[in-house]
């Protein structure tokens, strides 16, 4: 039965209130099954029945079933290299509270990190007044196993085969699911942001590294069952600088926070307007050219309808977007020139934790798993 609940909940999430007749048609469930499912959802408090607007027609209008966004909540966590962001959201990914903290690499053990995350989730519950959470979704800096329980390998943190979901479950008492952190951001855009009703959404995120995540037909793209879209490790020069992956001349070896800060003559932590500052230097043109080259390859291989930019790219000057909008289309197949859209993330600096929350909602609510 869980699957049927999930089907109905996803229709209500994506289309808004609907009558039972329309829900039955959309979900292809029999009237009997649908009545049973909606009765359980009403009893659970996830949906309500309401009078539709004045119909003006004859007879009693059909009652509409509406999702109650604040019926349940989840926690979303983004683990980046040296930074953790957290949020608690409702069923539509709207944040109720947020927090963040930095951690030292490589000195912070995974045990210490999960303890801190568990403490912060408790604090967020208190701040937001949310008593119960359906579960926790964690965006992590590397590909995850098919069961979404372990981080397979994270170059920037040095973690390998780390069973983070179980570790965090023991500390929080909550169910936990993992996803590659930029894939999680792509999921958030596909569910609650610019990528709704878009077939293929590619998210590109620049902070300490350059990551990407792809959602196709609503599902994170996981080549080989656990892969990631390694845009940052497209090799653009065989004799380029050493990359964190051990190869030479990857896009990320040229376009990452540390290298871009060095171009600004600084070694400190990167400011929010990093790319605004870089725009005024001689490094800007080659950076744009390398990004454009790599994105052209990604578009030809992955055919995204929409590319969403986050992290420093979300805060990039308008000139970056006008450059890409002018120079990318001529380099890809004619049909892609018509389709492709390039946008900043709709979640600003919160794309990571809202991504975690979107993954948790998919797993613990919109799958129907909890009913």
Binding site for Zn ion (CB under 5 A): 233, 243, 245, 247, 250
Q: What CA–CA distance (Å, rounded) separates 31 from 352?
A: 40
Sign of CA dihedral 206, 208, 209, 215: negative
CB of 244 to Zn ion, least distance (A): 6
- Closer by beta carbon to Zn ion, 210 or else 361: 210
- Find out whether 194 and 307 touch, Cβ atoms under 8 Å: no
- Find out whether 192 and 233 touch, Cβ atoms under 8 Å: no
- Closer by beta carbon to Zn ion, 171 or else 233: 233
- Closer by beta carbon to Zn ion, 247 or else 292: 247
CB of 228 to Zn ion, least distance (A): 12
Helix (H), strand (E) at residue 214: strand 210-216
**Partners of residue 86 on adjacent β-strands:** 77, 99
- Closer by beta carbon to Zn ion, 262 or else 325: 262
- Strands 210-216 and 219-220 come out as antiparallel
- Find out whether 240 and 248 touch, Cβ atoms under 8 Å: yes
CB of 246 to Zn ion, least distance (A): 7
CB of 180 to Zn ion, least distance (A): 16
Q: What CA–CA distance (Å, rounded) separates 330 from 163?
A: 44
- Closer by beta carbon to Zn ion, 142 or else 195: 142
Give the relative orientation of helices 2-15 and 20-27 as an angle to the nearest 10 degrees.
Answer: 110
CB of 241 to Zn ion, least distance (A): 10
- Closer by beta carbon to Zn ion, 181 or else 294: 294
CB of 315 to Zn ion, least distance (A): 24
- Closer by beta carbon to Zn ion, 243 or else 332: 243
CB of 225 to Zn ion, least distance (A): 22
Q: What CA–CA distance (Å, rounded) separates 95 from 125?
A: 12
Q: Where do runs of H (alpha helix) occur along the chain?
A: 2-15, 20-27, 31-44, 110-128, 164-172, 181-192, 251-254, 257-263, 274-278, 284-302, 318-327, 334-339, 351-364
- Strands 95-102 and 136-140 come out as unpaired
Q: Return the residue matching tokens 């991504």.
A: 355
């Amino acid at each position: 039965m869980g699957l049927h609940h999930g089907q109905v909940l996803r229709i209500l999430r994506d289309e808004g209130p609907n009558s039972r007749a329309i829900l039955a048609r959309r979900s292809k469930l029999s009237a009997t099954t649908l009545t049973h499912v909606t009765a359980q959802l009403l009893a659970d408090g996830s949906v309500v029945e309401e009078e539709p607007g004045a119909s003006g027609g004859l007879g009693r209008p059909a009652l509409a079933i509406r999702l109650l966004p604040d019926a349940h909540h989840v926690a979303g966590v983004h683990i980046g290299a040296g930074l953790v962001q957290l949020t608690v959201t409702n069923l539509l990914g709207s944040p109720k509270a947020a927090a963040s903290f930095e951690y030292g690499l490589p000195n912070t053990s995974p045990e210490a990190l999960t303890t801190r995350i568990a403490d912060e989730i408790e604090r967020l519950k208190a701040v937001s007044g949310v008593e119960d959470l359906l579960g926790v979704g964690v965006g992590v800096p590397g590909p995850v196993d098919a069961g979404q329980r372990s981080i397979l390998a994270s170059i920037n943190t040095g973690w390998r085969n780390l069973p983070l979901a179980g570790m965090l479950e023991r500390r929080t008492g909550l169910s936990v699911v993992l996803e590659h952190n930029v894939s999680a951001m792509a999921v958030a855009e596909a569910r609650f942001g610019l990528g709704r009703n878009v077939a293929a959404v590619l998210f590109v995120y620049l902070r300490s590294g350059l990551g990407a995540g792809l959602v196709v037909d609503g599902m994170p793209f996981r080549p080989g069952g656990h892969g990631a879209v390694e845009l940052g490790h497209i090799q653009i020069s065989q004799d380029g600088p050493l990359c964190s992956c051990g190869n030479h001349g990857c896009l990320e070896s040229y376009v990452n926070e540390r290298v871009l800060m060095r171009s600004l003559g600084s070694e400190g932590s990167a400011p929010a307007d990093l790319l605004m500052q870089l725009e005024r230097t001689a490094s800007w043109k080659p950076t744009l050219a390398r990004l454009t080259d790599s994105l052209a390859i990604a578009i030809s291989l992955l055919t995204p309808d929409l590319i969403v930019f986050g992290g420093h790219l979300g805060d990039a000057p308008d000139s970056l977007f006008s450059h890409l909008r002018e120079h990318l289309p001529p380099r890809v197949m004619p049909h892609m020139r018509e389709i492709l859209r390039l946008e900043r993330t709709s979640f600003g600096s919160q794309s990571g934790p809202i991504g975690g929350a979107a993954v948790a909602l998919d797993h613990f609510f919109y799958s129907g798993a909890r009913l």
